[in-house]
Amino acid sequence: MSKLNGAPLLVGAVAYTPNVVPIWEGIREYFDEPDSAMDFVLFSNYARLVDALQAGMIDIAWNTNLAYARAVLQTGGHVRALAMRDTDAKFSTVFVAAAGSRWSGPGDIANRRLALGSADSAHAAILPLHYLRAAGVDVDQMQIQRFNSDIGKHGDTGRSELDAIDAVLSGDADVAAIGITVWENIGRGDLMPGMLEPVWQTETYSHCTFTALDTLPETVYAPWVTKLLAMDWEIPAHRRILELEGLTQWVEPHLEGYAGLFEAIEEQGVDSRW
């Protein structure tokens, strides 16, 4: 690994949108000190990122929850979660319908046409079905429409969720499952004012996390994690990076928040290539 050879720590991430580059350039600049120096490499999809982590090509991977779960399962648990965003520690899925539906709860969803996002999106496809099933809904009997608009990106682009919302607004579906961030940015924002309403919201779960193999020594990753957690919203230079990455504070990983996803992967036989 790079840091073990005296080079900067190498962090991998997925380039799901053009603004990923300035985000990581800012993060690299922030870590520009001898004990925490880093560089980054961008991948086209999460399968490549997880493979690179396992192969030792990178030291740390910025993984979605599904990518983290895949790394855990494929290494027999020989990975370590290092840190996540405060927003990742309390993620959830919101089921939305056109305004005026007056539907409420999983029972109403069970009898509706459901639009899901990309099949490799934990928050817009995998976990929605898991939580509906846990609430007593026979999801195998539901009429489900899937929008696999960004396979490989684990729903990061949000495009498949917008496609699911469009299906609801056009009348092709009754309910769409979307991540809480999409709902907060679009459903409650100025783009679609009053057009959608929430029908049900899942319990919170964990989303993205920085992940390393458990062979990476603590002496190597600890200074980097310490500096990451020290990023301060009240410092303008830090706030610029935090805002771009969608958080106010980096926090220690909430591992208990991945339990539902591991259960969902087993229930649904999720494709291990994602």
pLDDT at position 183 over 70: yes
For 249-260, the pLDDT digits (tens) are 999 999 999 999
Q: What's residue 194's pLDDT?
A: 82
Which of 140 and 191 is assigned the larger pLDDT? 140
Per the CB < 8 A criterion, the answer to whether 120 and 16 are in contact is: no
pLDDT at position 187 over 70: no
- What mean pLDDT is predicted for residues 16-26? 93
- What mean pLDDT is predicted for residues 172-181? 97
- Residue 81 CA to residue 53 CA, distance in Å, equals 13
Q: Where do the domains of the chain lie, and which CATH numbers do they carry?
A: 3-88+206-268 (3.40.190.10), 92-201 (3.40.190.10)
Around 125, how many Cα atoms within 13 Å sit in the side-chain half-sphere?
29
For 54-69, the pLDDT digits (tens) are 999 999 999 999 999 9
pLDDT band at 35 (very low <50, low <70, confident <90, very high): confident
Please provide residue 12's backbone torsions phi and psi, each rounded to the nearest 5 degrees.
-105, 145
